[in-house]
A and B are shown apart, each in its own frame.
Chain A
Amino acid sequence: MLPSFRIIKYVLMDILQNRIIIGYTLFLFAVSFGLFNLGGDSTKGLVGLLNIVLIVTPLVSIVFSTIHFYNSYEFIELLAAQPIRRSLIVWSEFWGLTIALTLATLVGIGVPVVVFAANATGISLVLVAVGLSVVFISIALLASVLTRDKAKGIGVVLLLWFLFALLYDALVLFLMFAFADYPLEKAMLGFVCLNPIDLARVVVLLQMDIAALMGYTGALFREFLGTNWGIVFALFVLAVWAIVPMLLAVRVFNRKDL
């Protein structure tokens, strides 16, 4: 085994011993199951699930990753004195968290979706849920290496979640009304790209192709890029959101005093 896999193994063992990740899986499973059994129509179930995924997945992912990082501080210190690359330590944390949360999402959302709505929309929803988890792990690790204090770190990531999940749309709406006289379509596309949660919403709604639910930004995406290219573009930007904060986190960690 490569050194990186050896470390990921221990990170993963530590995470999977945690009851929170099991509780999260059960919660997702129960919610998905409940929503699909509510109306009878699988599309309704998917829309309901989408709204849950867009709020809950980022929150759990960012808070869990941050707490895990601070709780692993001793382990990280111990590893830093060993003959291994420093960047390996953060990458191992990243992959450990990614594997654990992906497993939780695949079991909690993937299984019910396959049972009740095994179509393109369902699959895109699961993909987006996994993607959002990874994006917020990446953001959480960046915030954690930048702040030394645990309470401050958790505060920062909660604020970031609040910003992306709730505040951002209100700000964009406010801007739209304030500059209603100007053509803002292209700027709006840019605004969507700046929020991973909006991107995730656009991907699933484009796939669903329900004009009424697509909203302003979804319609714009389809108008400018067409359904397929819209999805590809949104997924690409989502990938950038997962990679860039992580690369920054590695850079910061390589120079961090432990």
Chain B
Amino acid sequence: MLEVTNLTKSFGKLKVLDDVSVRMHAGQAISLIGPNGSGKTTFLKCLLGLVMPDGGAMTLQGKSIVGGWDYKRQLGYMPQIGRYPDHIRVGQLFEMIQEIRRGTFEKLDEELMHAFGVAEFAHKTMRTLSGGTRQKVSACLALLFDPAVLILDEPTAGLDPMASEILKEKILAEKAKGKLILVTSHIISDLEELTTDVMYIMEGKVRFYQPIDTLKSRTGEQKLNRALAKIMTTQSVTTKQ
């Protein structure tokens, strides 16, 4: 469904993405993990057209998306830090995005908005919202247009435990509908619950990309975090040799 080939991106001298090639399919939920600054967010931003790649190709359902815009109707994006105009009210923000996207979506999915009780703080301006409430707004916006691909950059960071559970349930429900979901997080237990595959990015390269089950059986571990720890230590040994 989503295919990336030989994607490269540098910021100045720093190579952030180095020849990344991956194929992703509908129904897959993929964890993107890797150390801070490894290129996860840049990879997602390339898919979203926010960052312009230096080279390589990206296709969604067979059509190139590099420099395009129409494909974004199929994407829902929840940024790591949701930044919004200060003076706009929450309700206005939702109206505005709907107005701007009018004609590009089939139906609205307001399930998460109801679950989070957005109506109760719809009159507040974005500036007065706490970090967690902003995250709720970002999550609702990402899911509002019922997109085929969900791109979630640290979705549960900053959410209270209850909100976090609501969001995870919603993500699982979307996964069950056969959507493609990309999630970055540093909370491995969350990823284990939500995703089917793991993509490990380090220094701009995809080190491994496998189904969680394969990973567990290969390492003989039951828990994803232990399996990851094991594979990383053996990898670092092999790279040192």
Contact = CB atoms under 8 A, between A and B. Distances in A.
Interface of A: 3, 6-7, 10, 14, 17, 72-75, 77-86, 254-258
Contacts of B186: none
B100 interface: yes
Interface size class of B (residues with CB under 8 A): 20 to 34
A73 B50 CA distance: 13
Counting from the closest, the 9 A-B pairs by CB-CB distance are A83-B72, A83-B73, A74-B83, A257-B51, A258-B50, A75-B85, A83-B104, A81-B77, A85-B69
Interface of B: 11, 45, 48-52, 67, 69-73, 75, 77, 79, 83-87, 96-97, 99-102, 104
B100 A84 contact: yes
B233 to A, nearest CB: 35
Given A6-B100, A83-B104, A256-B52, A77 B83 contact: yes
A255 B100 contact: no
A154 B34 CA distance: 37
Contacts of A14: 85, 87
Contacts of B100: 3, 6-7, 79, 82, 84
A62 B237 CA distance: 57
B104 A81 contact: no
A77 B71 contact: no
26 contacts: A6-B102, A14-B87, A17-B87, A73-B83, A74-B85, A74-B86, A75-B84, A77-B50, A77-B83, A80-B48, A80-B50, A81-B48, A81-B49, A81-B72, A82-B72, A83-B71, A83-B72, A83-B73, A83-B104, A84-B69, A85-B69, A86-B69, A255-B52, A257-B11, A257-B45, A258-B51
Nearest to B72: A83
A19 to B, nearest CB: 12
A6 to B, nearest CB: 5
